A and B are shown apart, each in its own frame.
Chain A
Amino acid sequence: DIVMTQSPPSLPVTPGEPASISCRSSQSLLHSRGDNYLDWYLQKPGQSPQLLIYLGSNRASGVPDRFSGSGSDTDFTLRISRVEAEDVGVYYCMQALQSPRTFGQGTKLEIK
């Protein structure tokens, strides 16, 4: 199975400041067609997870452009250019290249 490792586990951020979350996979998520099968999901407090980013760098419909995804192969990053109060929650990366799909352990973003 592909192991997904996120850091940091907890991320306190001042509103208006940027934030960055790292996700590393134990195997390459880069398919021969050129796409990285890495998604980012946000689970806000008391809610179901929601899709933020798919294929490493593509924002899902309705996701604000302050969110961006980057990276390739085994190293990926989710960036929030200016954190807002509504961004609090747990962020998960997930690989969709192989079954079983596997999630990172999550990064809890909180407001300072």
Chain B
Amino acid sequence: EVQLVESGGGLVQPGRSLRLSCAASGFRFDDFVMHWVRQAPGKGLEWISSISWNSGSIVYGDSVKGRFTISRDNAKNSLYLQMNSLRADDTALYYCVKDTAAILPVFNAYYYGMDVWGQGTTVTVS
């Protein structure tokens, strides 16, 4: 079964750090771009970061640039998000998401959408 399981969320004070993890199973993790997408309480979806299959291409949204770092360990089938200098507006449910492309930008690859989403891990900054 294809699965993404996030962990590492919790309650943290403003200015502190937190590291999220995402364990992937059921597919060849090192074949695909991976993303973090978040959803603030009662709000819509916000993409925050992407990483290509070999970590050669990494992009961030403006709201997290300079504070968050995405990384992956293909040997461990794991995706990470290091979150520093957390603010109240970082409070959200954080989803780990699998892409169908291997590289960024996706128009240079075969792209069939973001096809697997984890159940999310909640980060509360207060």
Contacts and interface: CB of A to CB of B under 8 A. Distances in A.
Interface residues of B, number: 26
Interface of A: 1, 31, 33, 35, 37, 39, 41, 43, 48-51, 53-55, 58, 60-61, 90, 92, 94, 96-106
B120 A60 contact: no
B67 to A, nearest CB: 15
Interface of B: 35, 37, 44-47, 50, 59-62, 95, 100, 104-107, 111-115, 117-120
B107 A49 contact: no
A99 B111 contact: no
Contacts of A1: 62
Interface centre among B112, B113, B115, B119 (most CB of A within 10 A): B113
A3 to B, nearest CB: 13
Contact of B119 (A37, A48, A51, A58): A48
Given A37-B111, A54-B111, A100 B59 contact: yes
